Amino acid sequence: MKGMLPACFVLLAAILWGTTGTTQALAPAGAHPIAIGATRLAVGGLFLLFILLVIGKFNLQGWPIKTTIMASLCMALYNPLFFSAVSITGVAIGTVVAIGSAPIFSGLIEWMYVKVRPPKIWWNSTFLSIVGCLFIFVNKEVLVNPLGIVMALGAGLSFASYTFISRSLVESHSSLAVVAVVFTLSAIWLAPFLFVFDMSWIMSVRGVGVSLQLGIMATGIAYLLFAKGLVHVSSSTAVTLSLAEPLTAALLGVFLLGESLTITSWFGIILLILGIGILLGFPQKSISKKGARMVQQ
């Protein structure tokens, strides 16, 4: 069970991410998706930074500046790219392309930079999970827009890159410190969006609740768990496990928002659970130290 714990941390993080769609559906009408994304990073970063200051472990000495900036830029790019893709090409195509492409990009990045080819069990698990994700959204509104597809692919690449780069950081620094610093910087990069869009919604009771839920639970705590899991889980495995996010979102939509799923969607859920289950039962192998050195150079 101890060997599975890091993978379970990643899985729990993905489950928390899966609550973002339901939370956004409960947000005030005037809340723009990109503004929500910028807000969640700001709240999450400040929350983690506050904890870091309270426990007295805030120390920037020895931090690889280049690597930290790269990780923060990847996360800052992911949010507007993903939300823009969904708004342009629809939830179905945007989600499937962004989340489904991330594991593929992650496996390729490891292969290119670390010279570690993902094992066959990873390919089988990833294939089942992506097909399951596709089936979940297959009956949703479909609008194929080339620009939206490019943005969704950019979001998938950004998340895969963030995961790979962050793994080199958590090997030499505490998970809390890494996530706090990276997300605070990401919030700074996205700060201009807070002045572009109408932010009056955040002053309402519902707006505050949505901001705290997204910032603290779905961002701060979720990415902290994700970072802890990355210490002992390869980035490609972590990204595939993160496909539990659309699974959680679909189930919450049924039980909390009153949405209905077709037989095809339920079959997709079964495939997604099967794919993730296979990967959880596979002994995790840490990626070589060579990858961390190559990112930091």
* Distant-in-sequence, close-in-space partners of 167: CB < 8 Å, separation ≥ 6: 230, 234, 235, 238, 287, 291, 292
- Please give the pLDDT value at position 138: 73
pLDDT of residue 185: 93
Look at residues 226, 163, 271 and name the one whose alpha carbon lies nearest to residue 12: 226
The pLDDT value recorded for residue 1 is 44
Query: Does position 288 have pLDDT exceeding 50, yes or no?
Result: no
170 falls within a domain: yes
**Tokens, residue 292:** 């961390």
- Would you state the structure tokens that stand for residue 136, as one six-digit string? 């979940």
| pLDDT tens track for 161-213 | 999 999 889 888 889 999 999 999 999 998 988 888 889 999 999 999 999 99
Q: Is the pLDDT of residue 231 over 90?
A: no
* Phi–psi pair at 173, nearest 5 degrees: -140, 160
Query: What pTM did the predictor assign?
Result: 0.86
Could you tell me if residue 272 is inside a domain? yes
- Look at 41-45, 84-88, 197-201, 231-235 and tell me which has the smallest mean pLDDT: 84-88
**What pLDDT was estimated at residue 179?**
92
293 occurs within a structural domain: no
User: Domain total for the chain?
Assistant: 1
135: in domain: yes
Q: Is 83 part of any domain?
A: yes
Residue 142 domain flag: yes
Q: Is residue 297 part of a domain?
A: no
Domain span at residue 11? 5-288
The highest-confidence range among 59-63, 123-127, 136-140, by mean pLDDT, is: 123-127
**What pLDDT, on a 0 to 100 scale, did the predictor assign at position 139?**
66
